[in-house]
Amino acid sequence: MTNLSQWPVLKQLRGPDRLGLHDAAKSRPTEELEPRTVTADRVVKSICPYCAVGCGQNVYVKDEKVVQIEGDPDSPVSRGRLCPKGSASLQLTTGAAREQHVLYRRPHGTDWERLDLATAMDMVADRVIASRRNSWQWEVDGKRTRRTLGIASLGGATLDNEENYLIKKLFTALGIVQIENQARVCHSSTVAALGTSFGRGGSTTYLQDLQRADCIVIEGSNFAEAHPVGFQWVMEAKARGATIIHVDPRFSRTSALADMYVPIRAGTDIAWLGGLINYVISNDKFFREYVVNYTNAATIVSDKFRDTEDEEGGVGLFSGLDPEARSYNTDTWQYEGGEVAAASGERDSQYGDIASEVESDSGHSHSHGSGGPALRGTWRRDETLEDPRCVFQILKRHYSRYTPEMVERICGVPQALFHQVADAITANSGRERTTAFAYAVGWTQHTVGVQYIRSASVLQLLLGNIGRPGGGIMALRGHASIQGSSDIPTLFNLLPGYIPMPHAHEHETLDEFIAADAAARGFWANMRSYMVSLLKAYWGPAATPDNDFCFDYLPRISGSHSTYETVQAQLDGKCEGYLLLGENPAVGSANTKMQRLGMANLDWLVVRDFSLIESATWWKDGPEIETGELKTEDIATEVFFFPAASHTEKNGSFTNTNRMLQWHHAAVEPANDCRSDMWFMFHLGHIIRAKLAGSTDEMDRPILDLTWDYPTEGDQDEPVAEAILAEINGWNADGEFLSGYTELKDDGSTACGCWIYCGAYAEGVNQTARRKPHTEQGISALEWAWSWPDNRRELYNRASADPDGKPWSERKKLIWWDEDEGSWVGDDTPDFEKTKPPSYRPDDDATGVEAISGIDPFIMQADGKGWLYVPAGLVDGPMPTHYEPQDSPFQNALYPQQRNPVRQVFSRKHNRYHPSGDDHDAGVFPYVLTTYRLTEHFTAGAMSRWQPYLAELQPELFCEVSPALAAERNLEHNGWATIVTARGAIEARVMVTSRMRPLHVQGRTVHQIGLPFHWGVNGLSSGDSMNELSAISLDPNVHIQEVKALTVDIRPGRRPRGADLPRFVEAYQQRAGIDEKTGMEGVTVR
Amino acid sequence: MAASADHDLPAGLRYMVEHGHAADGSHALNTEPTQHLVNPRAVNPTQHAAVAEWVRRRVQADEQMRSAKEAS
């Protein structure tokens, strides 16, 4: 009777809940259920491990198991929200898809074998030692290198800062220079562009500040889907009346939520932004007082400089180009009367006799992450902005042909739409209003990626929108700590804090390195203190003034050692060992075939990840096995797979897209063989040091003298992550924790592992773990975690006040000078010397920080100004210039020069380029393809394709095509299409949608195809990889690949299988007349 | 607030009824921290006992560091 009374239908009929929406629908078991959030034993504070929004997470633990993960409502960034990926992170951390044990594939083996963890660690240590000895280079061409090119590593953007610190420290001490991570292939362009423009390479603003914008331009990003939780701040701005503009080849949810959507041809944003720059200048819409005082608009440029426009008709080349070397000598770009030292790496390379091609290859533009190029001498300014050689007039001439008509012709944007956007951004800029720009890898991944972001920098400086609330440039980063893996770089060309890696010279002392590299003015003038403190952190008591603080222990670079050069070194047999640390290049890097063939040529490979990603299993199930190009039994590569610990199983900090370090606590210990990368590096270092103990070989001194004594905790001897953060922060000779980088000394009395993170452990408190709820503080939320530099949230915020120190307007008040207090005050940490008054003017011979005047907001720039024109620091031009992508269906309508003349291209069998524009047979690949990320998947898929929720939500690779293209190529909705380039062919389901719009460009219609890039052959959701199609063609500043604008062909049906596939691709190459010279041209001016 | 006495209401809904806005802080400023309705405050340590002692040992082992300070 009791059971019958509980029957839901009876309860519904007899009780008050007649609609069955409440009690009637409950059974007794349901009523007895309790939320896991209630029954948990404890709640552990954490941070989402997916994209770089950095959402707060509460991790619920019961019986020492993670049972639930929820959004943390206290977080000022996320306010309790999680996107589908963050919500699925319980599956990521506790799901059955995680490998739990070490796996081993012996040379020529056909399957995995189990190996115990200790044995595997010992074997890897042996291989590191042997490869290092096999490939050691004391010198190259008579220049000291002290390094090995026989070993490389890749990965770090998904890891903690503390893990990246150990990777860089250990491998540097071993002499390994080929250390790279996802930052190379995702946002290296950002660092060089924002660094040269403003003095630091991080986002100038932070997500929450977007709510204060009056207009937001989102371009090169599908913000709403790729960073959904961060997008709430765009919606907050919209709710307050802001105008939202989305510029993108593809209509997406971001477009749907915008007030204006601007479809654009992929690969033409510089022409578009150049058009806006021209509009702002020619219509006198720029913020004159801001521009005159806070930018280099008034500075006079050398009379030797020649612009792209200066030859008849404008050929599209700057002065100083060496067509044979395919590089610019940038001397003529410099200011009149001043000597502008080049970017940090280049400044060093100018010392001695480094060849010019090495300068352009060394990735030195990347070193402006926190310190703009140095200035020396004196220079002249004309604050009327009338001098024909002042930056403003040069800029005006440079963009004079970027008219609305030209924009329409190149980009396919109708002139009326152009004017609507131009009106919106100019109406929403000035004293009372601000406009923000937000972008992601839609801008960075081009052969002119740096100059894309430079274009926005120029525009925002002209409009007076940098350093002001609701303004700025928001670089939307896509890995939890990709900002951190640039700051504490697992990158070949940088040391922590953007100190450049030293170049190879016959002999170079620390003082010569500093003298060649440090700026005379601004905070970069203190570089010796930053460097010596780093060397003390690395080598402790062994680092003394007598041995140059072990400066000689650092291995030297001699050109580019980026991940793309490393792949070629693998193919050429020069690199024999490779460690993949949370990165999946067999799916995520350009030209995946070359990635796999490179790995097939290794002696040994270490893969650390959650599941068996494609980069771990290519030898048994990769595409080349199917086509017969590789045979498992013939592959000699020895493969070790180590299962990784998840973010809930380790302590550490992520640096999010706001430049904010946020600590996540370990909720439980990792099970079985799963370990953190911190554990792996620490114990690998211990084993290697033990094996080398007693060695008298000079090559082993750096690893034996390394400070490697971190305390450990727990049953697994996990290094104490807080100790590593403390070393990153630094201490003085009294053992006191430093509170900021101004306390660093150059005499060895301070140690600091990363000067820009100095203050993160101030007073012995883990500042990155602070969690004062956002409801208890202002928008800047200064007591939530810690941002670099010096806990400043809005960079360059001195510019939020006028030259006299007063807010530009009450509405846009942020930081101002308080005369009574004698200091800068406001709702942020001032990005300026706190007591330096606006009236301060330096003496003519002032140096260092004293040379920065009271009206110089850009304190990391040697002249204190925002750079509209970059006189040094970039290798492909002082001002952004439109060039067509490497592969394009169109001729460059602005210049005879078709492509970036100094881009990096590689003529290899599996890396063929397409004919472009008017080239014969360019029509074989008539369509433009662009790539993108989905909400439900994450980069190369390792953290999403194995999660049931996410795999179910996005189960299959698809391509988006317009109805017109579908009709032209007989493509059926939900049917199959084959997409082809000279590199490969893939298949995808067809989605016919009006979201893809044909554009009218240069008198004809161009169709664009959208393609997500997450898939590979493994996981619950599998499919072909987009990067089978892409080529390795790189931006010359930072070596980032062009994967946002390709040309392709598309046809209905599935791709060929087996050996027919390479034959199919070769047939396309033959039809298009492609050979080793196609697309390799540098200068194309005839 | 009769509704708040109704223990059948989910905590989040009860919070909304009582406060007039959602418990997760959405679309409203100055809301209280929320999951605290059902959770105890999480432990969030910002100091680690082992670190200071370890740094002291590092400094102690570095004679040059200490002498540089004396010289300055």
State the smallest CA–CA distance between residue B68 and chain A in angstroms. Answer: 5
Element holding A337 (H helix, E strand)? none
pLDDT of residue B21: 67
Do B48 and A723 lie within an 8 Å CB cutoff?
yes
Mutate to test the interface with B, among A33, A34, A38, A79 (most CBs of B within 10 A): A79
Of B30, B34, B68, the CB nearest to A733: B68
- Asked if A766 lies within 8 A of B47 by C-beta distance, the reply is yes
Whether the predicted pLDDT of A1080 surpasses 60? yes
Q: Which positions in chain A touch B33 (Cβ < 8 Å)?
A: 73-74, 773, 775
Contact between chains at B44 and A771 (C-beta distance less than 8 A): yes
Contact A748 B64 (CB under 8 A): yes
Q: Indicate if the pLDDT at residue A2 is higher than 60.
A: no
Q: What is the mean pLDDT of residues A968-972?
A: 98
Comparing CB atoms, the residue among B23, B32, B51 nearest residue A720 is B51
Say yes or no for a CB contact (<8 Å) between B48 and A545: no
- Contacts A713 to B, Cβ<8 Å: 50
Output the pLDDT for position B38.
64
Nearest CA in chain B to A31: B8
Pinpoint the alpha helices (H) of A600-729: 614-621, 623-627, 677-692, 701-705, 721-729
Q: What is the pLDDT of residues A619-668, one digit of tens each?
A: 999 999 999 999 999 999 999 999 999 999 999 999 999 999 999 999 99
Chains A, B: CB pairs < 8 Å = 144
Residue A342, pLDDT above cutoff 50: no
User: Are B55 and A731 an interchain contact pair (Cβ–Cβ within 8 Å)?
Assistant: yes
A196, two tokens: 């040269």
Residue A866 has pLDDT above 50, yes or no: yes
Inspect the interface and report whether the beta carbons of B48 and A710 lie closer than 8 Å: no
pLDDT of residue B14: 72
**Which site among B35, B43, B70, B72 would you substitute to test the A interface, given the most A Cβ atoms closer than 10 Å to its Cβ?**
B35
- Name chain B contacts of A735, Cβ cutoff 8 Å: 52, 55-56, 58-59
Evaluate if residue A170 carries a pLDDT over 70.
yes
What is the tens place of the pLDDT at every residue in A472-521? Answer: 999 999 999 999 999 999 999 999 999 999 999 877 899 999 987 777 78
Confidence bin at A245 (pLDDT 50/70/90): very high
Confidence (pLDDT) at A56: 98
Given CA atoms A410, A416, A418, A419 in this order, what sign does their dihedral have? positive
What does A988-1055 look like in DSSP terms, one character per residue?
A: EEEEE-TTB--EEETTEEE-EEEEE----SSSSS----GGGS---EE-TTT--B--SSEEEEEEESPP
Mean pLDDT of A375-402: 94
Q: How many residues does chain A have?
A: 1086
For the stretch A588-618, pLDDT in tens is 999 999 999 999 999 999 999 999 999 999 9
Tell me, what amino acid is at A955? Answer: P
- Give the tens place of pLDDT for each residue, A682-719: 999 999 999 999 999 999 999 999 999 999 999 999 99
Chain A closest CA to B34's CA: distance in Å? 7
Percent of chain A with pLDDT over 90: 89
Q: Is the peptide bond before A323 cis (omega within 30 degrees of 0)?
A: no
At A670 the pLDDT is: 98
A1086: confidence class by pLDDT, cuts 50, 70, 90 = low
- Report the run of H or E that residue A47 belongs to, with start and end: strand A42-47
DSSP state letter for A601: T
- Rounded to whole angstroms, the Cα distance separating A1021 from A674 reads 24
What element of type H or E holds A436? Answer: strand A435-439
- The per-residue pLDDT for A348 is 53
**Taking the CA of residue A936 as centre, how many other CA atoms within 13 Å lie in the half-sphere pointing to its CB?**
15
**What per-residue string of b and e applies to A525-563 under the rule 16 or more CB within 10 Å gives b?**
bbbbbbbbbbbbbbbbbbbbeebbbbbbbbbbbbbbbbb
Q: Tens digit of pLDDT for each residue in B6-52? A: 456 667 667 767 776 666 665 554 445 556 666 766 879 999 999 99
A1050 pLDDT more than 50: yes
Q: What residues in B contact A547, CB-CB < 8 Å? A: none
Tokens representing A204?
């100038």
Cross-chain Cβ contact B46/A770 below 8 Å: yes
pTM for this model (two decimals):
0.94
User: What are A796-827's pLDDT values in tens digits?
Assistant: 999 999 999 999 999 999 999 999 999 999 99
Question: Does B31 contact A775 at a Cβ distance shorter than 8 Å?
Answer: yes
Q: How far apart are CA A610 and CA A12, in angstroms?
A: 48
- B51 → closest Cβ in A543, A726, A775: A726
> pLDDT (tens digit, 9 = 90+) per residue, A33-43?
888 888 899 99
pLDDT over threshold 80, residue A6: no
Binary contact (B44, A774; C-beta < 8 A)? no
Rounded distance between C-alpha atoms, residue B66 and residue A914, angstroms: 62
Residue B42 has its nearest CB partner, among A38, A44, A751, at A44
Q: What residue of B is the nearest CA neighbor of A537?
A: B58
Residue A531 tokens, joined:
């460097």
Q: Within A897-970, where are the H helices?
A: 948-953, 963-968
Chain B residues whose C-beta sits inside 8 Å of any chain A C-beta: 8, 23-26, 29-35, 38-48, 50-52, 54-59, 61-66, 68-69, 71-72
Cβ A1061 vs Cβ A1055: under 8 Å: yes
Q: For residue A1016, which of A952, A912, A937 has the smallest C-alpha distance?
A: A937
Indicate the residue of B24, B48, B54 with minimum beta-carbon distance to A73: B24
Which residue of B55, B66, B72 is the best one to mutate when testing the A interface, meaning the one whose CB has the most A CBs within 10 A? Answer: B55
Taking the C-alpha atoms of residue A738 and residue A731, their distance in angstroms, rounded to an integer, is 5
Residue A723 to chain B, least CA–CA distance (Å): 5
Please give the Cα distance from A437 to A474 (Å, whole number): 6
Three-state DSSP class for residue A415: helix
Residue B4 has a pLDDT of: 39
Contact flag B40-A536 (C-beta cutoff 8 Å): no
Residues in chain B: 72
- CB contact under 8 Å between A747 and B72, yes or no, is yes
What pLDDT score does A26 carry?
Answer: 80
Mean pLDDT, residues A446-459 taken together: 98
* Contact (CB<8Å) A45/B66: no
- Mark yes or no for CB contact B44/A536 under 8 Å: no
Closest-CA residue to A330 (of A899, A877, A861)? A877
pLDDT-derived band at A435 (thresholds 50, 70, 90) equals very high
pLDDT exceeds cutoff 80 at A278: yes
The model's pLDDT over A346-376, given as tens digits with 9 standing for 90+, comes to 445 544 333 334 445 666 676 676 777 777 7
